[in-house]
Amino acid sequence: MVTKLIYHYASPQHFYPLAGRLWPLFAIGASALAVWGLWLGLFVAPTDFQQGEGYRIIFVHVPVSWMSMIIYLAMAFWALIGLTLNARLSGMMCRALAPTGAICAFLSLWTGALWGKPMWGTWWVWDARLTSELILLFLYLGYIALTNAIDDPRRADKAGGILALVGALNVPVIYFSVKWWHTLHQGASVSMSRGSSMEKTMLTAMLVMAVAFWLYAIAMALYRVRSIILMRERHAKWVTALPGVSPTPAEGSA
């Protein structure tokens, strides 16, 4: 039953209406949780005894940093599916995820600089984690540029998929850089084995914001992939039969 559903929705024709039903729900959930998380983080959570009020930027910085890595791993997953099973939807999902991942990587670096200036006294250092996160941003931008530079969608998907898989090796470097090298970044405050060293309200705000960015990323991917599907499948009969979609000139004269 599950396998049948997977094959059913692997078709762009069937995935398009599903994405249309789901993305508003994820967007509403992301908006509600973001408002709640920012309220907790900015107004309810106590002042940090070492960093003062400046620490509150972590309620955006940490979730977007997590998402920048998670989205790239999701791209690598879809790329692997596309390269091994030749699924058309896989390349479309990679393209739909890339812009949001690039935004998260950019926000991670920018909010990190805003936090680093008062805490470290500088906007930027060639720290292992900062450098590997910058490489991640370049990988996102490289993927977007590469796939847009190739006219044939299938060839573009394959080339982008290879880049996504190779670039995924950078993700564990980002995550473990604090342990592998001496860096200015502190170790993880939240651990599956050791629990959390954060105050309860801080932790709640952090996790709420993390889920909000998860839902936002899913909503944007589903919204964007619908546009990609329409562009890729514009000559298909099911697309031209959609309300408000006009046939191409060639189809109209046939």
Where are the chain's structural domains?
21-45+55-185+196-234
Q: Give residue 1's pLDDT band: very low, low, confident or very high (50, 70, 90).
A: low
Instruction: Flag whether pLDDT at 186 surpasses 60.
Output: no
The pLDDT tens digits of the residues spanning 76-97 come to: 999 999 999 888 899 999 999 9
Q: Please give the share of the chain, as a percent, with pLDDT higher than 90.
A: 57
pLDDT value, residue 8: 66
The pLDDT tens digits of the residues spanning 205-237 come to: 999 999 999 999 999 999 999 999 999 888 778
The encoded tokens of residue 243 equal 């309300």
Closest CA to 90 of 169, 12, 3: 12
As a whole number of angstroms, the distance between CA 101 and CA 96 comes to 10
Region 153-177: mean pLDDT is 92
Closest CA to 153 of 198, 213, 78, 90: 90
Predicted structure pTM score: 0.86
For the chain, what is the mean pLDDT? 85
Instruction: Flag whether pLDDT at 247 surpasses 70.
Output: no
The encoded tokens of residue 57 equal 């930027």
